[in-house]
Amino acid sequence: MSDNDYARVEAHDCPMSSCAVPAGSPCRTGKGKVALQYHTARFRLVPSLAKALNVSTPPVRKPGSVWVELPRPAAAGAEPSGHARIGYARASTVRQSLDTQLDSLKTAGVTRLFSEKISTRATSRPELERAVALARELRASGVAVTLVVHEHKRLGRGIELAALAEQLKAGDIGLEFLTGELQGTHDPSGIVFTVLAALSGMEREYIRDRTLEGHESARTRGKTIGGATVTDDAMLSMALHLREQGMSLRDIAARLVITKGKKKGQHPSPATVLRMLHEHDEHTATA
C-alpha cells in the first residue's frame, strides 16, 4: 500500500449513503468526525485496492477530528487556477543561520514558508513533510504548486533527493532551486535531473572517503585528530582529587580552569572531564 493511496480513493465520491462525501474529502463517521479508515465501498472503486481489507486515512487528514469538506480535485485536463509557491529552508545544526535561505525564498515570492534545523541524515524531517503535505492539498484543489528551495543540498543528495523528487512528480508538484548546481525549475523525471542528483550523492561520499583517508594517514604519523586539547596534568590531578571527594562531573568541571589555547580562563565541559578521567582510568588499568 503506497503513500498516495488516499489520493486515489478521494478521487471518487463515497457511495455510502451514511457518508456520501464528495471527491477530495476523507470519509466521515455518523458523528461527524473524520473516519479512521475509508469506507470499503469507496476504496474498492480503485482497481489496485479492490482486494484490500482496509485503507487507513492518513495523518494529514487528521482522523478523529471534526469533518469539514475540502476543495474538490481539479477535473482531468483542467487548467490550474492560480499558482502557489511553497518555500522550504533547512540548516543541519542549531548554530547555523537560515537568514540567507529565508531572504532568497522571500525574494522569490513564496506564499508559504517552512523551515527547520535538522540533519539531512534524519529519517524524518517534520517541516519538509508539512510542506509536501500542503503542496498536495493545494494541488488537489486545482492550484498549480511549486516547491522552492534555496539549493538542492537543503533537500538531500543522491537517492534521498531522487526519492523526494518522485513524490513530487506523483503529486504533479513542481520543483525549483534558486542557486547551486541544479539551479532552475526541474522535471524530476528528466534524465538531466536524475544524473545531477546522483552525482551530488557521489560527491558527498567522495568527500567522506577522502576525509577518512586523511584521518587514517594522520594517525599513522602520530598526529592527533580533532581540536587542540584543553586538558593537562595539573587539571587531571585536581579532577582525580575532586572525584575522590565524591563530586559530580558538573561540579568538578566548575572547579577546573583551562590554562592554554583559545579557551584559556574558561571551565572545561563535563564531557571533557569525563573523557579525561576515562582515558586516565584506561591507561592505569593497562599499566
Grid-cell match 523528487, residue found:
165
Spatial distance between the Cα atoms of 68 and 63, rounded to a whole number of angstroms? 12
Spatial distance between the Cα atoms of 91 and 117, rounded to a whole number of angstroms? 5
Q: In angstroms, what CA-CA distances link 280 with 241, 244, 249, 258?
A: 13, 14, 15, 18
Q: In angstroms, what CA-CA distances link 77 with 80, 219, 243?
A: 9, 63, 75
Q: Which residues pair with 132 in a beta bridge?
A: none
CA angle 148, 154, 155 (to 5 degrees): 75
Spatial distance between the Cα atoms of 5 and 17, rounded to a whole number of angstroms? 22
What cell does 234 get?
Answer: 595539573
Spatial distance between the Cα atoms of 146 and 256, rounded to a whole number of angstroms? 55
Name the catalytic one among 2, 48, 56, 92.
92
92 included as an active-site residue: yes
Inter-residue contact 49 to 8 (CB < 8 Å): yes
Tell me which residues are annotated as active site: 92
